[in-house]
């Protein structure tokens, strides 16, 4: 472990404000809230200043490797992946699946939902089989132009 962090957490103002609200809501799994708190504490753009990884480890009583895992996942895959994609992505998937079908298409496909999520900047990447699993878990079928539950 050197003195320099390999993966830097630099939240935008919008990400930081959204994350602050998300952490305060409390109806989440404890580790996800803790990951959010870790990201906020490591944020180099924070008006309050950032803490070192060692300080964050001590404050939140988590291992140094957990701090590094969260920071690495944020740097490589973004905020949604660092916190667990499902709570952030599912509302977008459901909204897209229930929206107007793209021109020239008869219905939304899992791949077209993936393409739309990427186009909207919700995720950097996600597999169509992950979309299928999300929809199946919620008893949602992609049929014709309408969303069927």
The domain in which residue 28 lies consists of 13-79
Reported pTM: 0.63
Q: How many domains is the chain partitioned into structurally?
A: 2
Range with lowest mean pLDDT among 8-12, 39-43, 90-94: 90-94
Q: Choose one of 44, 79, 114: the last residue of a domain.
A: 79
Q: Is residue 139 part of a domain?
A: yes
Counting Cβ atoms within 10 Å, is residue 2 exposed (0-12), middle (13-18) or buried (19+)?
Answer: exposed
Under 8 Å between Cβ of 72 and 110: no
Task: Tell me, yes or no, whether 20 lies in a domain.
Answer: yes
In a domain, 65, yes or no: yes
pLDDT surpassing 90 at residue 142:
no
Which tops the pLDDT comparison, 4 or 108?
108
């Amino acid at each position: 472990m050197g003195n320099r962090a390999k993966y830097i957490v630099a939240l935008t103002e919008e990400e930081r404000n959204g994350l602050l609200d998300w952490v305060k809501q409390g109806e989440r799994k404890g580790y996800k809230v803790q990951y959010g708190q870790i990201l906020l504490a490591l944020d180099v753009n924070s008006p309050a200043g950032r803490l070192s990884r060692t300080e964050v480890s001590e404050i939140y009583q988590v291992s140094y490797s957990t701090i590094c895992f969260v920071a690495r996942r944020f740097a490589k895959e973004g905020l949604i992946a660092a916190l667990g994609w499902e709570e952030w992505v599912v509302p977008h998937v459901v909204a897209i699946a229930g929206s107007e079908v793209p021109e020239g298409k008869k219905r939304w496909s899992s791949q077209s939902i993936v393409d739309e999520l990427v186009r909207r900047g919700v995720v950097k990447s996600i597999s169509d089989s992950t979309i299928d699993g999300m929809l199946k878990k919620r008893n949602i079928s992609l049929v014709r132009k309408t969303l069927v539950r």
